[in-house]
């Protein structure tokens, strides 16, 4: 079943004004088609990939419209990162039949990243742990699928927030989840220097929220 993009308010007391939008989309070919001219690699992709790409764009456009009064269909850079209109930044994610996007004003933060993941079961967590967790995380989190999902998702959000700033390859070994609490707040710590502005040891806050069997995370990077 498909539904239009809906505004979410996953967290209270946020330091920055943004709009976060989610939609459920159909896996059927063309179901989410907006009449957008698709980039070649999306036009050639499997129907499932086209549907998720379009659903992400629909959410991003709605998030922009709610933030600025003007929606826009985002282009796609050769590295796959979405191209946000001047003066804005944001992030897109999808999992299963759900797409989400977040948009903020570029003068309010340096970067913003969003991720949505199905909460892993024990087997999923043990498959992901070797690549996604640092040795320290493996010692502390590896037996708890929710924490593994949170670490994985928060690092995806961190990557999406930082990539437009740093334009460098990153890996899951470069940061680790060091704390999280009942209020949907977590902390990541950089394990290695990413740039002079992002030295080893710098801590970056993440927010998280359960949406049924999905976990939504958001990383906001400020100066």
Ligand X SMILES: CC(C)(COP(=O)(O)OP(=O)(O)OC[C@H]1O[C@@H](n2cnc3c(N)ncnc32)[C@H](O)[C@@H]1OP(=O)(O)O)[C@@H](O)C(=O)NCCC(=O)NCCS
In the complex with ligand X, the residue whose CB is nearer, 19 or 155, is: 155
In the complex with ligand X, the residue whose CB is nearer, 67 or 215, is: 215
**Shortest separation between residue 169's beta carbon and ligand X, angstroms:** 8
How far apart, in whole angstroms, are the C-alpha atoms of residue 223 and residue 214? 30
CB-based contacts of 138-142 (< 8 A; 24+ apart in sequence): 141/177
For ligand X, what does the binding mask look like between residues 184 and 213, x meaning CB under 6 A? ------------------------------
Q: Which residue do the tokens 């036009």 mark?
A: 43
**Shortest separation between residue 76's beta carbon and ligand X, angstroms:** 6
Residue 59: φ, ψ to 5°: -65, -45
Of residues 172, 176, 207, 218, which one binds ligand X by CB under 6 A? 172
**163 makes contact with ligand X (CB under 6 A):** yes
Q: Are strands 82-83 and 75-76 parallel, antiparallel or unpaired?
A: antiparallel
Q: Which of 150, 140, 88, 69 is nearest to 117 (CA)?
A: 150
How far apart, in whole angstroms, are the C-alpha atoms of residue 144 and residue 129? 11
In the complex with ligand X, the residue whose CB is nearer, 67 or 117, is: 117
Q: Which residues bind ligand X (CB under 6 A)?
A: 52-53, 56, 79-82, 92-94, 115, 155-156, 158-160, 163, 170-172, 174-175
């Amino acid at each position: 079943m498909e539904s239009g993009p809906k505004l979410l308010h996953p967290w209270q007391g946020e330091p920055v004004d943004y709009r976060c939008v989610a939609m459920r989309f159909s896996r059927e070919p063309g179901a989410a088609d907006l009449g957008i001219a698709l980039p070649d690699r999306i036009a050639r992709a499997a129907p499932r990939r086209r549907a998720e790409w379009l659903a992400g764009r629909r959410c991003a456009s709605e998030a922009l419209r709610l933030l600025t009064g003007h929606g826009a269909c985002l282009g796609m850079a050769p590295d796959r990162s979405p191209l946000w209109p001047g003066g804005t930044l944001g992030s897109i994610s999808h999992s299963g039949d759900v797409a989400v996007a977040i948009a903020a004003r570029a003068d309010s933060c340096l970067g913003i990243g969003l991720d949505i993941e199905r909460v892993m079961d024990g087997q999923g967590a043990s498959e992901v742990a070797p690549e996604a967790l640092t040795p320290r995380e493996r010692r502390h989190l590896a037996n708890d699928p929710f924490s593994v999902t949170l670490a994985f998702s928060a690092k995806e959000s961190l990557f999406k927030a930082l990539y437009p700033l740093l334009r460098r390859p990153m890996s899951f070994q470069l940061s680790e989840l060091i704390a999280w609490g009942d209020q949907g707040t977590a902390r990541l710590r950089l394990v290695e220097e990413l740039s002079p502005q992002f030295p080893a040891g710098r801590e970056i806050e993440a927010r998280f929220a359960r949406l049924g069997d999905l976990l939504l995370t958001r990383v906001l990077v400020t100066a």
